[in-house]
Amino acid sequence: MLGPTGKVFESPSRFYNDLEKLVNTTTPKILPHQALENVVRELKLENALVPTNSSRLKKSEVSTLAKTNFTESDIPVKLVYQVNGKGELRLSYDLALDMSMNADHWSMRVDAVTGEVLNKHNFTIYCKIDHPGHSHCERSRMAQKGSFKPVAKVLESKALTTAPNTYNVFAFPVESPIHGSRSLVVNPADPTASPFGWHDTNGVAGPEFTVTNGNNVNAYLDKNSDNQNDGGQPNGGSDLIFDFPLDLNKEPNTYTAAAVTNLFYVCNAIHDVLYQFGFDEKAGNFQRNNYAKGGAANDPVVAEAQDGGGTNNANFSTPADGGSGRMQMFLWTESANEINVIEPSGEAGPFVATRGSFGAAPDTTPIIGNAVWSDDGVRGMERLGCSDSQKKAKLNGKIVFIERGECEFGAKAYYAQKAGAIAVIICGFNEESVSMGPGALGGRVTIPAYFAIKSKCDKVRILIDSSLKIKIQKPVGNLAGPDSLDGDFDNGIIAHEFGHGVSNRLTGGPSQAGCLGNGEQMGEGWSDFFSLIFTAEPGDKPADIRAVGNYAINAGKDGLGIRRRPYTTDLKFNEFTYKNIDPEVHNLGEVWTTVLWDLYWALSDKYGYDPSFKNKTAGNNICIQLVMDGMKLQPCSPGFIDGRNAIIAADQMNNGGKINV
C-alpha cells in the first residue's frame, strides 16, 4: 500500500505464491445453471425452478441467470478462484442469490469443474437479541425493564411553522425516544457528501423525489415483507417538509410516516458523516449516482421500516459495490412481561418468550391455564405437533408447549388451537431466537403464540404435564402501554446495521463484500462502535455506562441493553480483554468494540473531543479515522491481530506514527 507521499507501507496480506501450481484450470466444465442446481441442493430449496439456458463463461465474463421462483432478482454469475480445503485454487462460479422467502442474500462458490459447493457466504447479517451469551445477564436487564410502558409525550406536527427541507426526527446524537426528544432539522445534507441534497439523483439542482427516496437512501414501509413499498413512503411535498405526528403511547401502525422519516434521516446522516472519514464513492459507499467520482453506482441503501418479516431483530445485506445494501428494521415485541409462571411457587416469575407475527395479542383479561405438552398421536413425534390430530381431551383449556421442527410454526399453533389450546409456546432446539412467521395456516390462529429458546423451556420442562401453571396477560396499570416498540426510532441499532455495510465494503475492498465470514472477524464489533460514536454526547465521560438497544427492549436509558456487558472504560463493569473472545459473533464483537472504545477515549482524553465530527485533530475523530482506514488496510478474513496492526499502519500513514496514548 502507498501512503499520501508515495511511501510504501506494509500491510497484512493473504497472497498465494506459485499460482501456476495451485490453479486447477482456466476453463469451466459445467454450465452456470448446473452450478445453480447444486446450490439449490446445498440450500435445500424445495420446488425450485432452475433456468436451463445458460452458456459457459469465459475468463472475466459476468453473466446472469434469470430471476426465478426463489430469488428477488436476476442471479449474477462470474468466474473466480476459490481456495478449497487443500489450499488449492479452484476455478469456480460465484452466484449471488437475493432470496425471496427471507432476507438471506447468498454468495455461493461452486467448483466449475466438479460442481462441488466450495463456499457459501451470507451477505445478510442478522443482529439477534437472544444469542446464548445474553442469557446470564437477563436478570439485570429485566430489573430495569418493566414493560412497554409509555416512553414519550405526544409530539405533534409543526408543519405550519416549518421551513422548507425539514425533518422532524430524533436527530443525532439523540439515540432514541428515551434519550431525548424529536427536533426539526433543517437542510441537513452535507454539501460535500450529498452536494445536491438527499432527494437528488441526477446531479442537477432540484429534487427528483418529494418522498423518502433519493441518492443515498430509499426508505419505505414493508409490512408485507416482500421488499416492496407497501404505500408507506411519506411525502414532504414540494417544500420537502417531513413533519408528521408521533404518539409513542400508541401502536406503531399509527405513526408510520414519522417512523420512515426517522429511518431516512438517520441513514442519510450516517452516509454524510462517514463520507468525511473516507467512506466515499471509490471506497464503495451506497449511492445511486456517484457524480463521476469513481466506484460503482446504482446502490443506495434500501431501508425497510416496520418490516413484517420478523420481530425483535434487524439485519443488513451487503452485496459488492454496485448492488444496493438492504436494511430491514423490525418491531420489538419481547414478551417477558406477558407470560408469568404462577405455580409452583418456587418457579413463580416472568417467563421470557417472544410473540410471533401471527395469532392474537393478549388483553388485560388474564389467560390462565395448566401447561401441557403437545400430543398429536404421532408416535415419537407427539411433541412436534405437526399433525392435525391433537388430542382434545388433553389440550382443551390448556397452555400448550410444542417442540420446534418438522413443520411451520403457524401449523403447530393452529392444530393446537383446534384441539382447544388457549395459547401456545413453541420451544426452540437451540439458543437461537427466531421470529415466528405464519406460514400457510398462521392466519387462522386466534390465540397467543410465542417462541422461547431452548434454555428457557429447559427450566420448566420437567414441570410441564404436571404442576406448571401459567398466566398470560397484557400488562396493566403503570405497566400498560403499546403492544410493540418500533426499531426505526432506535438510532443506535440503525447505526449498527449501517455499520455492517461499511465494514463489509471496506474490508478486502468494495468489489467483493464477502471478507468477514471467518471465525475471528469483528463485524459486530465495528457495528457497535458506530452505534456508540454516533450517539456520543458532549459531556460524556470514559467511565460512563453505554449500551446498545435499550429503547428497543424497553430497558430504560440506563439499562444494560442487548449485550453481555455495557461499554465503559471502567473495568468493574466491563472487564473484557482478548482472553474473553469466543466463536459467537456478538460475543466476539463485544470484545472488539471494548478495544475500540478504550482507544476512542484514550485519544479523546489526550487530543480533545469534537461533537461535530469536523475537527480532524480532535481525539475522537482521530480514532474514527484510524478505525475506518484500518478496515481498508487489513486483509480479507482479518482477526484481532490483523485489525490492530492495520490501525497501527493507518497511524503510520496518517500521522507518521506520532499518535500515542
Q: Are residues 329 and 371 in the same domain?
A: no
What is the rounded distance in angstroms from the CA atom of residue 188 to the CA atom of residue 269?
Answer: 8
Q: Are residues 294 and 414 in the same domain?
A: no
Q: How many CB atoms lie within 10 A of CB 185?
A: 17
Q: Are residues 192 and 276 in the same domain?
A: yes
Q: Report residue 576 as a C-alpha cell.
A: 473484557
What is the rounded distance in angstroms from the CA atom of residue 236 to the CA atom of residue 198?
Answer: 12
Q: Are residues 301 and 351 in the same domain?
A: no
Q: Are residues 310 and 164 in the same domain?
A: yes
Residue 314 lies in a domain: yes
Domain boundary among 300, 333, 366: 333
What is the rounded distance in angstroms from the CA atom of residue 473 to the CA atom of residue 477?
Answer: 12
Domain count, the chain: 4
Domain boundary among 298, 333, 368: 333
Q: What is the DSSP letter of 176?
A: S
Residue 357 near residue 426, CB atoms below 8 Å: no
Residue 246 lies in a domain: yes
Residue 487 lies in a domain: no
Non-local (6+) Cβ contacts of 239 within 8 A are 164, 165
Q: Are residues 468 and 506 in the same domain?
A: no
Residue 554 near residue 485, CB atoms below 8 Å: yes
Torsion sign (Cα): 193, 195, 199, 200: negative
**Which residue intervals of 367-463 are DSSP H helices?**
392-395, 409-418, 454-460
At 521-572, the pLDDT tens digits run 999 999 999 999 999 999 999 999 999 998 988 777 887 788 888 999 999 9
Q: Tell me what pLDDT residue 9 has.
A: 61
Q: Are residues 193 and 315 in the same domain?
A: yes
Residue 483 lies in a domain: no
Residue 191 lies in a domain: yes
| Amino acid at position 657, single letter | G
Non-local (6+) Cβ contacts of 85 within 8 A are none
CATH of the domain at 572: 1.10.390.10
**Structural domain that includes position 292:** 132-333
Torsion sign (Cα): 518, 520, 524, 527: negative
CATH of the domain at 343: 3.50.30.30
The alpha carbons of the chain give a radius of gyration, in whole angstroms, of 26
Residue 183 near residue 163, CB atoms below 8 Å: no
Measured in whole angstroms, the distance separating CA 111 from the mean position of its chain's CA atoms is 31
What is the rounded distance in angstroms from the CA atom of residue 2 to the CA atom of residue 10?
Answer: 9
Q: Are residues 448 and 517 in the same domain?
A: no
Q: What angle do CA 357, 358, 362 make, to 5 degrees?
A: 100
At 585-627, the pLDDT tens digits run 888 999 999 999 999 999 999 999 998 899 999 999 999 999 9
Reduce the DSSP state of residue 206 to 3 states and report it.
coil
Q: Tell me what pLDDT residue 354 has.
A: 84
CATH of the domain at 100: 3.10.450.40
Q: Are residues 435 and 531 in the same domain?
A: no
Q: How many CB atoms lie within 10 A of CB 61?
A: 11
Residue 344 lies in a domain: yes
**Claim: this prediction has a pTM higher than 0.85:** no
Torsion sign (Cα): 473, 477, 482, 487: negative
Q: Are residues 178 and 213 in the same domain?
A: yes
Domain boundary among 70, 94, 122: 122
**Which residue intervals of 535-639 are DSSP H helices?**
585-607, 619-633
Measured in whole angstroms, the distance separating CA 219 from the mean position of its chain's CA atoms is 16
Q: How many CB atoms lie within 10 A of CB 340?
A: 17
Q: Of 543, 387, 370, 548, give the one whose Cα is nearest residue 472.
A: 370
CA distances from 435 to 214, 358, 603 (A): 31, 10, 41
Q: Are residues 535 and 588 in the same domain?
A: yes
Q: Look-up: residue for cell 403437545?
A: 374
Beta bridge partners of 402: 426
Q: Tell me what pLDDT residue 102 has.
A: 80
Helix 640-655 vs helix 619-633: crossing angle, to nearest 10: 120
Residue 584 lies in a domain: yes
CATH of the domain at 250: 3.10.170.10
Residue 209 lies in a domain: yes
Q: How many CB atoms lie within 10 A of CB 208?
A: 16
Q: Are residues 305 and 389 in the same domain?
A: no
Which segments of the chain have a pLDDT < 70? 1-20, 56, 58-61, 127-162, 334-337, 476-481, 661
CA distances from 537 to 175, 342, 349, 546 (A): 10, 43, 37, 11
Residue 588 near residue 526, CB atoms below 8 Å: no
